[in-house]
Chain A
Amino acid sequence: RKEVEQDPGPFNVPEGATVAFNCTYSNSASQSFFWYRQDCRKEPKLLMSVYSSGNEDGRFTAQLNRASQYISLLIRDSKLSDSATYLCVVKPGAQKLVFGQGTRLTINP
């Protein structure tokens, strides 16, 4: 089983739609969770951290369910500029980050 699993997509949705991504992780001792965004041929960039209480940043909402080892990202009122690959990232220990395969999202005009 992969340490971090995501639906690779691709997701194609119209502009303005709401889209949700899911991710599961295998290491129950993991303490830190993130969503990163990666544009084509670019490095990943931190979108937001994910907290147990859930957190929101503008149109983006992240949720963590420790019991189910499940992380989600919700994007509301999607924009063309949201087109990218979204990476679920888990930090199982003190050092390294473990990346999911990524979910490719395309927002259509």
Chain B
Amino acid sequence: GAVVSQHPSRVICKSGTSVKIECRSLDFQATTMFWYRQFPKKSLMLMATSNEGSKATYEQGVEKDKFLINHASLTLSTLTVTSAHPEDSSFYICSARGPDTQYFGPGTRLTVL
């Protein structure tokens, strides 16, 4: 089946630094990718929808200047958390729209100290 990878799987950083997370579709082209965030014991919340070659569409309440999304190719989307703070610590999951459903990456656990 289709596979989506994420890198890194885990990152610990100091407050104020920026962190980039990569999401790749490995065996299919994804014109649309999605970025989710999940806090402990909470549901996945869609942050933004990323379309190749165009600006991402952000969900209400998500700061586009803080969470920078780039979808420069059909197999790669990146999420950059700028000036990260402890409240940004969460599980970030990307998803790519494949031929028949959405495929999820394994997630990136971000801890901001």
Contact = CB atoms under 8 A, between A and B. Distances in A.
Interface of A is mostly: loop
Contacts, number: 37
Interface stretch (B14-22, B64-72, B76-84, B97-105): B97-105
Contact of B107 (A43, A96, A99, A100): A43
Interface of B is mostly: strand
A97 interface: yes
Nearest to A49: B101
A7 to B, nearest CB: 13
Given A44-B93, A96-B34, A97-B46, 20 more contacts: A41-B91, A41-B107, A42-B107, A43-B93, A43-B105, A44-B44, A45-B104, A87-B43, A87-B44, A95-B49, A95-B97, A96-B46, A96-B49, A97-B34, A97-B95, A99-B36, A99-B43, A99-B44, A101-B42, A102-B43
B96 to A, nearest CB: 12
Contacts of A99: 36, 43-45
B53 to A, nearest CB: 16
Interface residues of B, number: 20
Interface residues of A, number: 16
A15 B106 CA distance: 28
Nearest to B34: A96
B46 to A, nearest CB: 6
